[in-house]
Amino acid sequence: MAQLFHRRFGFLFRLGLIGAALAATTGVLLWRASMAYPAGVNDPIEQPVPFSHKHHVGDDGIRCRYCHSSVEKSAFAGIPPISTCMTCHSQLYTDQPVLAPVVEAFRGGASLRWKRLNKLPDFVYFNHSIHVAKGIGCASCHGQIDTMPLTARTAPLTMQWCLDCHRHPEQNLRPADRVFDLHWKAANQSALGARLLKAYHIDTARLTDCSVCHR
């Protein structure tokens, strides 16, 4: 009776098995890779007004807290009301088309609708004020924002990323007067960090409690 299978069948079958195994592994790896770093890191989104931190902070040297006024008081750093923009722009570039939406809003039109860059899931309770108070610089999470013509998210904001710092805060601690300095670098971070850890009375055991971020 004739052969049931082609004589190469066995070989091909093994090949197929190996191929399937490989496919599965790569599939999983790809999925992990895609999840590992949520999209949108370092790519600016288009905003209703092409606001440039580079220009305002880098060139004009406006302080962070001038606009993000509640960063030291509240969980929410604060998005400046249109009136804040108008403190200058009632005089400067008032007629520039790019500024039209701002002026319009101030005149009673639609308030701006900024696209949110740094958004955490609703079950995560991040608090700006405590981080600032304990010597975490703006730059640690938001990068050299004064070099960004258009603002982009610089941190993945994954739990892993949060934990890296909550486990070893000393790596990112700064002196209180350097918190808003976007280009400050410690000469010897490890030594400084260790010292600041004590100075700020940071309870590292507690930093990794679930209850610190989840309620």
Partner 1 sequence: MPPLKSGQSFDPAAARAELSGQSGPVLWRSLEELADNEAFRQWLRQEQPRLAEVLGLDRRQFLRTLGAALALAGVTACGRPPQNEIIPYVHAPVGQVDGLPRFFATALTRNGYAHGVLVENHMGRPTKIEGNPRHPASLGATDIFAQAAILQLWDPDRSQTVRHRGVISSWDDFAAALLDLTAQSGRNGGAGMHVLTGEVTSPTLTAQLDALLQKFPAARWHLHEPLDSGNSRAGARMAFGAPLSTRLHLDRARVILSLDDDFLCDPAAGVRHARDFAATRAPEKAGGGMSRLYVLESTPSITGAVADHRLPLESARIEAFSRALARRLGVLEDQADSINESAWLDAIVSDLQANHGHSLITVGRSQPAWMHAAAHAMNAALGNSGAVIEYSDPVERVPEEGASLAQLVNAIRAGSVDLLVMLDVNPAYDAPADLEFRAALKQVPHVVHLGLYVDESAELSEWHLPQAHALETWSDARAFDGTVTIGQPLIAPLYDGRSACEVMALLMGAEVQKGHDLVRRQWRAKLADEPAWVAALQAGLIADSAIAVRSASVRPDLKSLLAPPKSGGAPPQGGGALSQGGGAPPESSGAPPQKGRAPSQSSSASQGGLELLFRGDPTIEDGRWSNNAWLQELPKPLTQLTWDNAVLISPSLAAERHLSNGELVELRLQGRSLRGPVWITPGQAARSVTIHLGYGRRRSGQVGTGQGFDAYALRSSSGPWRSAGLQILATGERYELAGTQQHFQMEGRDVLRVGTLADFQTNPRFATAHDRYPDKPPSLYPDYPPGEYAWGLSIDLNACIGCKACTIACQAENNIPTVGRDQVRRGREMHWIRVDRYYEGHQDNPHTYSQPVPCMMCEHAPCELVCPVDATVHDSEGLNVQIYNRCVGTRFCSNNCPYKVRRFNFLQYVQSSSDTLLAQRNPEVTVRRRGVMEKCTYCIQRIEAAHIEADKQDRRIGDGEVLTACQAVCPTQAIVFGDLSDGRSQVAQAKASARHYVMLGELNTRPRTSYLARVRNPNPSLEQG
Partner 2 sequence: MSASLPSEGIEHAPTYAAVTQAICDIPLRRRFGQGWRAGFAVALLLALLLMFGIGWLLVRGVGIWGLNIPVAWAFAIADYVWWIAIGMGGTFISAALLLVRQEWRSSLNRYAETMTVFAVSVSGLFPILHLGRPWFFYWLFPYPDIMNVWPQWRSSLEWDFFAILAYLIVSILYWYIGMIPDFASLRDRAASRTRARVYGFLALGWRGEARHWQRFEKLSLILAGLAVPLVFSVHSMVALDFSEGLVPGWHSTIFPPFFVAGALFSGFAMVLALGIPMRRYLRLEAFITSRHLENMAKMMLATGLVVDYSYCSEIFTAFYSMDRYELAMTLNRMGGAYAWVFWGTILCNVLQIQLLWLARIRRSPAVLFIISVGVLIGMWLERFMLIVTSLYRDYVPSSWGMFYPTVWDIAFLAGSVGLFFVLFLTFVRVGPVISMFELRRAVCSPAEAAQREPQPS
Over the window 70 to 109, marking each residue x when it contacts partner 1 by CB under 8 A and - when it does not, the resulting string is x--xxxx-xxxxxxx-------------------xxxxxx
Least distance (Å) from partner 2 to the CB of residue 36?
5
Report in angstroms how near the CB of residue 116 gets to partner 2 at its nearest.
20
Minimum distance of partner 2 from residue 173's CB (angstroms): 21
Residue 50 touching partner 1 (CB under 8 A) = no
Given partner 2, partner 1, none, residue 123, with its beta carbon under 5 to 8 Å by kind, binds partner 1
Q: Any contact of residue 183 with partner 1 (CB under 8 A)? A: no
Kindly state whether residue 123 participates in binding partner 1, applying the rule CB under 8 A. yes
The site for partner 2 (CB under 8 A) is made up of: 4-5, 10, 35-36, 158-160, 163
Half-sphere exposure of 156 (CA within 13 A, CB side): 14
* Residue 107 C-alpha from the chain's centroid: 33
Q: DSSP letter string over 118-164?
A: S---TT----HHHHHHTTB-HHHHH-SGGG-SS--B-S---HHHHHH
The Cα-based distances of 90 to 110, 113, 176, 195, 201 in angstroms read 17, 20, 34, 46, 45
Q: How far apart are CA 83 and CA 49, in angstroms?
A: 15
Length of the chain: 215
Which spans of this chain sit near partner 1 (rule: CB under 8 A)?
35, 38-40, 70, 73-76, 78-84, 104-116, 118-123, 125, 127, 129-130, 133-134, 157, 200-201, 203, 205-206, 209-212, 214-215
